[in-house]
Amino acid sequence: MAQKLLVITPTMASKYFIMKKVVYKEGDIFLISLGDKIFTGLIVKRKEKSKILLGYFWPIQINTGNDFLNTVLSIPPILIRQFSGLGFDLGRWKVIGRLLEWDSNNWPVPEFKKKDFFTNNYYAVQYDDDLEFMNERLITFKEASHLFEDGLSGFEALETRLLSL
């Protein structure tokens, strides 16, 4: 009798396997390895009592050598995004260290942009330090072009987004 093969995707894995409890907090630096591309992330905020995080993300260039962190943090991030911490629990992302002298005041929650597709209007969206919605205001297209998109990504959506940049 032929055996059937069950293919488990990372999303399904959380339903079938015990996930490892990983401790991660504000100021932690982590790696996301996606084939031949590697990204580093910095956890800037964590929504109280949840796995919702705000992170700044940078690509890692192989030629940055041993001082890659200072090199990476000296350039603007390619993405600032709210995301799920499930990638840590599934072992896909690795915490590699912590910023020395971490001060969350140096890493504010920025304004994000949101587009209303019915009116084509853009809005600047603000969150507080616990990632709770505060308000939004109408902005121009030019102002919106300088902001990162508002939203929350699951761990796979975040990986896909990073690969698209």
pLDDT given for residue 4 in this prediction:
43
Which residue shows structure tokens 């209007």? 121
Helix (H, G, I), strand (E, B) or coil at 26: coil
Q: Which residues contact 101 (CB under 8 A, 6 or more apart)?
A: none
The Cα–Cα gap between 7 and 9 comes to: 6
Q: What is the pLDDT of residues 88-107, one digit of tens each?
A: 999 999 998 888 888 999 89
Give the single-character DSSP code of 89.
H
- Lookup result for tokens 């853009």: 122
Averaged confidence pLDDT in the chain: 85
Average pLDDT over residues 122-139: 97
pTM greater than 0.75:
yes
How far apart (Å, rounded) are the C-alpha atoms in residues 13 and 10?
5
Which percentage of the chain shows pLDDT scores above 70?
81
CA distance 157 to 3: 33
